[in-house]
């Protein structure tokens, strides 16, 4: 059986985002706006869902509208988006914990692992954070280093900094020094 997905490209201040939806739920966000069967995003979707066909639409699962509201300053809009999370039970647990972080706040991998009741799973939490299939909507950008500096983001640190500034979240905006 072939699963029908919808796809919408949205321009943002940090560059284009490609939004993918299955029925009424967002399943994937490509941060660089790339699309096509040969992209990592669509190959990952096919691994999880089986055969897929993708159709262009103006507002995949309402995600483009919610994203526009977020960009206009309604930071709660992204949390209203229905999601269909494609991952392991542990990854989904991490992603749900990230969704519970209010806009304008940050956390560290250690604090997130402790919040999940898995204080020794810091690396596993970091790996799940990095595998987030719906960035922006699952706000992995809100995870920063314990000292407040920016640390890793699939869209690049400039995008992460923009998102945190847009939400009014505190962080140290200085380069990390190599030792």
The alpha-helical segments, DSSP class H, found in 7-76 are: 40-49, 63-71
Element of type H or E holding 28: strand 25-30
- Partners of 138 in beta bridges: 135
Token pair for residue 38? Answer: 């040969």
Phi, psi of 135 (to 5 degrees): -60, 160
Residues 6+ apart with CB under 8 A from 110: 119, 122, 146
140 part of the active site: yes
Specify the 3-state DSSP secondary structure of 18: strand
**Alpha-carbon distance 74 to 87, whole Å?**
28
- In the structure, how many helices (H) and strands (E) does the chain have? 6, 4
Active-site residue (options: 9, 28, 92, 140) = 140
Active site residues: 140
């Amino acid at each position: 059986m072939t699963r029908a997905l919808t796809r919408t490209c949205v321009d943002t201040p940090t560059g284009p985002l490609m939004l993918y939806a299955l029925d009424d739920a967002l399943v994937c966000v490509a941060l660089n706006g790339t699309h096509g069967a040969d992209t990592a995003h669509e190959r990952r979707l096919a691994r999880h869902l089986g055969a897929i066909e993708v159709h262009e639409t103006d507002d995949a699962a309402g995600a483009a509208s919610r994203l526009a509201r977020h960009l206009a300053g309604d930071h709660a809009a992204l949390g209203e988006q229905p999601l269909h999370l494609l991952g392991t039970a542990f990854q989904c647990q991490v992603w749900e914990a990230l969704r519970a972080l209010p806009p304008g706040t940050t956390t560290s991998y250690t604090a997130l692992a402790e919040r999940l009741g898995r204080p020794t799973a810091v690396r596993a939490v970091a790996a799940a954070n990095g595998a987030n299939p719906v960035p922006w909507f699952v706000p992995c950008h809100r995870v920063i280093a314990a000292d407040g500096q920016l640390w890793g983001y699939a869209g690049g640190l400039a995008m992460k900094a923009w998102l945190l500034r847009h939400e009014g979240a505190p962080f140290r905006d200085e380069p990390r020094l190599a030792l």
